Amino acid sequence: MDQLIRTNSSNKDFQLLVEQLDADLAERDGAEHAFYQPFNSIQALQNVVMMYHNDTPVSCGAFKPLSPTTVEIKRMFTLPTKRGMGYASLVLKELEAWATALHYSIIVLETGKRQPEAIALYQKNGYEIIPNYGQYIGIENSVCFEKKIEPK
């Protein structure tokens, strides 16, 4: 049985999946990984979505406000053995619904060029590549995306 829950960054299952995400990114990004670490803190994230399959955490994601109209997707991860099953899209759609309910109208995110499955996920879900923003301006490995949503 699959279950989505809304929680925050104090969720222990979220913290465990983020540890696996960080290990995966460190391997993919090598020395560049240190640049990204300051921007990936999970302290005080209030909008976290967890996906469980048979009571086992399999996927997660979060967002944080950037402005009164914009949120940034953070810490998206699906266990490698559970990829390709639609879990990440379900987590992403739940994050979008939550952001919509909180009256945000724009979602942005950054991912790395060495994460082709993440790039494909975002494109499949209607995100469009935009110029790199904020701390990612001029970072060759970064790919930034945006999606406009209708606030409720």
- Please give the domain boundaries of the chain with CATH numbers for all domains: 2-148 (3.40.630.30)
Tens-place pLDDT, residues 90-132: 999 999 999 999 999 999 999 988 889 999 999 999 999 999 9
Instruction: Tell me which residue has tokens 């060029």.
Output: 113
Q: Which of 80, 75, 77 is nearest to 37 (CA)?
A: 75
Query: Alpha-carbon distance 77 to 18, whole Å?
Result: 7
Q: Which of 104, 111, 18 is nearest to 64 (CA)?
A: 104
Tens-place pLDDT, residues 9-65: 999 999 999 989 888 877 766 655 555 555 555 678 999 999 999 999 999 999 999
Q: Which of 68, 71, 66, 74 is nearest to 9 (CA)?
A: 74
